[in-house]
Amino acid sequence: MRHAVLAFAAAATLAGLAPSAFAQAPAADSADTRCVLVLQAVSRDPGQRDNAVRGVYYYMGKLATRGPVSRLDPVMLAEGKKMGNAQQVQAELTRCGNELSQRSGEFQTMNQRLAKQFGPPPAAAAPAKK
């Protein structure tokens, strides 16, 4: 619940800054932007900071593949305005967390397959003594 409160606070702050009209962003941009917003808020919790920051980078990477990041200012403001209550923020946090967990699992599975195929990495050579 603490995470939802932090995320809600961030969304409420952004909502006050949002201008009245924005160009419509693609649905994927809007969804990924909401993930960035809630994960940025969660990153304020020292116990969650590392994982939340990794999540922010993941979603910013997705957004960057679709175009310049500078285009996201109005999208972030508009999406922050839409997240008006703790239930909406918690739903976004759950959705984004589920996607991050799925991708992490896929990455681990791939690494296990590759480790079986190639074996363990070679041991690093000891540094030469002078």
Q: What is the pLDDT of residues 12-64, one digit of tens each?
A: 444 444 433 334 568 999 999 999 999 999 999 999 999 999 999 999 999 99
CA-to-CA distance for 23 and 34, rounded, in angstroms?
16
Give the angle 123-124-128 at the CA atoms, nearest 5°.
Answer: 140
Of the two residues 84 and 24, the one the predictor is more confident about is: 84
Write out the two tokens for 71: 């285009």
User: What's the pTM?
Assistant: 0.70
Q: How far is CA 98 from the centre of its chain?
A: 11
User: Which residue matches tokens 């932007």?
Assistant: 33
